[in-house]
Amino acid sequence: MNRLSHFFTVALLAFSFPANANTDLPALGDSASGYVSLQQEHQLGRTWLRQLRAQAPTIDTPLMTSYLENLVYRLIPHSDVKQSELEFVIVDSGDLNAFAVPGGIIGINYGLMLHARDEDELSAVLAHELAHLSQRHFARQIEQAQKQEPVALATLLASILLIATNNPDAGFAGLMTTQAAGIQNQLAYSREWEREADRLGMQTLVTAGFDPGAMPSMFEQMLKANRFGGNPPEFLLTHPLTESRIADAADRAQQYPAKPRLTGFEFSILKNTAISRYQLTSANREQYFQERLDKATTNSEAAATSAYSLAEIAIEKDQWSQASALLARIAEPWASHAAVIDLGSRIDQHNGDNNKALQRISDALAYQPSSLLLRTRKAELLALNKRFPEAISVLKNLTSERKTDPLLWQQLGRIAAAGGQPLIAYRANGEYLFFSGRHAQALRQMDLALEAARKAKDFQQESLIRQRLETMASSPRDLNFN
């Protein structure tokens, strides 16, 4: 599955549009705009994202999703990215990878958290990816692809299809044996664009307030992973990295004043989760975090993050009293973090006090009203307390704000079904399946929603669902290279 993201840049190279593509969008002043419009990029990116979700495991936890979003939105105002609608995806893989997909899709492998030592280094990778988007490197690749021989393109397409159908070795062999010259040319352009993304990414990183030295230090981390790993990191397969690029980044960094690096509670607990998920076994992860807790200064951030990670493990093991004791060791200001409040509410729920759990979440929302984690948790607790209309209302507001989030639609569908609201449940399930790349199943659920609207004589909903069903039915099911 990971090979699909490895070679996404190459796959897009083969996606051809006519040179005179019709678009209502203004030209950007470069020849590549005649090959691919921003509207076409948007459509292709969303199709690719649905296909990725259908084929690769993703992590849709509210905490990780909102953290990545917040970090990117801190960088966006300082970049040249023009897309107003961005989407984010986190692949459940321990490999080092990040990617920017046309149309404003930003993605990482969760394993990137293993290699980034602080928020500055993680932001350096994201700033680099945003530069690829802002410079429309995809459209420029398409322009170069038009200059290739038709036979070479056909061979490349065949290789990509092999990769996409879970035969990556055969696909890669096709690329290497029959497309050697073409691949070399593509890599040459890629190196040029990597340098451009490095330069613009550095500007974004600095103006957003991060340490400029984070970019060369993160590059060094990547090369280190390459030297000591069995296979090259995924990121390096589509983002060739050389010693000269690291040296160039270090030279640029010296032109700016250094700034203190930030880890932060949220970064640290997410990094701990990645370590627990990909580097530790179930037998030794408790010992790993206990040793870190024992070494940490009392009431320090290190103590808080270690106690939190141990509490998560305790809950997984159904050791609720131990989890409660560990959470009690987390001092302010970390005790007020949404993640800690959430775990506290889970302990309340286990103890049979759903009202206390709900009150804990509601009190926290008064100070963190936009928290995705707290809002989804509130909906869950309202449903557990049989307050289905309120739970559905919370989730309908969330899906209105985040229309393409499959996890929210799934949660809405489940709670609406439990609350005896079949029309809402069918519609929500249809959206969940659609954004998860399960096209045929999504259409079936929307048909059921349409039927439910007719039975209820809800003509407004019937009209809205019919329009949505038509949109879904006409949407590409996969990346079509014909």
Query: Other C-beta atoms within 10 Å of 242: how many?
Result: 13
Catalytic residue among 118, 120, 198, 266: 198
Q: Take residue 41 and report the two structure tokens written for it.
A: 């990029």
Query: Other C-beta atoms within 10 Å of 368: how many?
Result: 15
Catalytic residue among 87, 119, 129, 211: 129
Cα 187 from Cα 182, distance rounded (Å) = 9
Q: Take residue 202 and report the two structure tokens written for it.
A: 């550095």
Cα 350 from Cα 346, distance rounded (Å) = 6
Three-state secondary structure call for residue 166: coil
Residue 196 annotated in active site: no
**What DSSP character marks residue 262?**
-
Cα 437 from Cα 47, distance rounded (Å) = 8
Residue 458 annotated in active site: no
Q: Characterize the bridge pairing of strands 105-109 and 87-91.
A: parallel
Cβ(114)–Cβ(96) under 8 Å? yes
Known binder of ligand: residue 6? Answer: no
Angle at 125 between CA 265 and CA 111, to 5 degrees: 65
Known binder of ligand: residue 462? Answer: no
Known binder of ligand: residue 350? Answer: no
Three-state secondary structure call for residue 290: helix
- In 3D space, the residue among 390, 386, 380 whose CA is nearest the CA of residue 411 turns out to be 380
**What DSSP character marks residue 95?**
S
Query: Other C-beta atoms within 10 Å of 118: how many?
Result: 21
Cβ(478)–Cβ(448) under 8 Å? no
Query: Other C-beta atoms within 10 Å of 67: how many?
Result: 24
| Cis-peptide, bond into residue 333, ω within 30° of zero | yes
Query: In 30-173, where do the E strands start and end?
Result: 87-91, 98-101, 105-109
Residue 218, CA distances (Å) to 1, 97, 115, 239 in order: 25, 12, 8, 13
Binding site, annotated residues: 128, 132, 194
Question: Which residues are known catalytic residues?
Answer: 129, 198
Binding residues for Zn(2+): 128, 132, 194
